[in-house]
Chains A and B, each alone.
Chain A
């Protein structure tokens, strides 16, 4: 099946640093979403993007819907220890079936 290419696969950073991760696809998506998964829990929605070029913030998180509609970026500013977890991008087509295509995830570790 289709998959998104998410990078980097893992990151180990110092508290206070900024973080960037991205997703690319060979297909055009109409919706991009970013989720975070804490250990032992289900993914939690962070940001949803619906228009090409859209830039949306949620606290220290900022995500962008790429202008080509084939990519998306997530930035975390001034990381803190509770940012630790796995971040997933997800894309959706216009079909409105609710189907999400997920990336493989970026594991983030933050050193205090």
Chain B
């Protein structure tokens, strides 16, 4: 089954404790992206990657890091989480420029609470 998987699905942590949210897709997609969803704000892009070793900032990159060492994986790293990063996070992927970069498939989401 074609899918985007995220782990963990739920996470409660404390301020300053480094964490990683993993994202993996099995569709051989070139493009991957991270979004956060907050009430009344819709989804906002954090970082995106057009291909392996190519990443760039979205609208709200502060406090986040990403890496794209393999095509299928795109982890989101919070080096020192703060309460304002409490949110619902989604990973998404698409075929890329050749196959429709905007037709993105989303993962099930990771609900993060930072105390």
Contact = CB atoms under 8 A, between A and B. Distances in A.
Contacts, number: 70
A112 B66 CA distance: 45
Between A1, A6, A100, the greatest number of chain B beta carbons within 10 A of the residue's beta carbon is seen for A100
Interface string A30-52: 01010100001111110010000
A3 B42 contact: yes
Interface residues of B, number: 31
Q: Chain A contact residues (Cβ within 8 angstroms of B): what range?
A: 20 to 34
Interface in A1-43: 1, 3-4, 6, 31, 33, 35, 40-43
23 contacts: A4-B42, A40-B108, A40-B109, A41-B108, A42-B90, A42-B107, A45-B105, A48-B103, A88-B42, A88-B43, A90-B102, A96-B97, A96-B101, A97-B50, A97-B56, A98-B31, A98-B94, A98-B102, A99-B45, A99-B58, A102-B44, A104-B41, A104-B42
Interface of A: 1, 3-4, 6, 31, 33, 35, 40-45, 48, 88, 90, 92, 96-100, 102-105
